[in-house]
Copies of this chain bind each other. A is one copy, B any other.
Amino acid sequence: MNERQRARRPGGRSARVGAQVHRAVTDLISERGYGNFTVGEVAARAGVADSSVYRRWGSLETLLTDVALTRLNAQSPMPDTGSLAGDLRTYAAQVAREITGPDGLLLVRLAVALSSTGQQGLQARDALRDERTRQLRSMLDRAVERGEPAPDALDVLDHILAPMYIRVLFGMGPLTPDYVDGLVDRLL
């Protein structure tokens, strides 16, 4: 299905199948964890044919990253507040809220799972990372266009996102607003 057809049928069969499959993946992740279910089980749970899943996503790894990205984009859209400090503070606070939630380590768990599933898993992990980095970079580019000096996307990853992820992973929360703002201020 090409983009034009998809756009003409926003509530059509394709959108319905997409939602059912995403829901099946989310359920199976929370019931069994990553790495413990197959495309066949996703399809059965979603009530669609295996071939529908393969045709649309190609592999379980691509499907998993599609589900993760959809969720991340809904929960943590890149903010556009008009200033770099505002954007980074808002974004950091969003990420902090998201990763301290009940299913907060989604991205870390997914990256760990994809790293263990060979070449296809690594490619899916890289695609996920590149898409989120691209979004972050466009936020930083807007600052540069306004004439603000901006850090590199990798600096944001290293000194704002990485510390929050590792603290949550090792149970060193909570991520207080002071702590999160402090990471942003230190980078800026």
Contacts and interface: CB of A to CB of B under 8 A. Distances in A.
Given A35-B33, A112-B105, A115-B105, A166 B162 contact: yes
A103 to B, nearest CB: 11
Contacts of A154: 172
Given A33-B35, A35-B33, A108-B108, A115 B166 contact: no
A185 to B, nearest CB: 13
A169 B108 contact: yes
A125 B166 contact: no
Interface residues of A, number: 28
Contact of A165 (B105, B159, B166): B166
B166 A161 contact: yes
Contacts of A109: 112
A172 B154 CA distance: 10
A163 B169 contact: no
Given A158-B162, A162-B163, 8 more contacts: A115-B171, A125-B171, A129-B172, A157-B163, A158-B159, A161-B166, A162-B162, A163-B163
Interface of A: 33, 35, 105, 108-109, 111-112, 115-116, 122, 125-126, 129, 154, 157-159, 161-163, 165-167, 169-172, 183
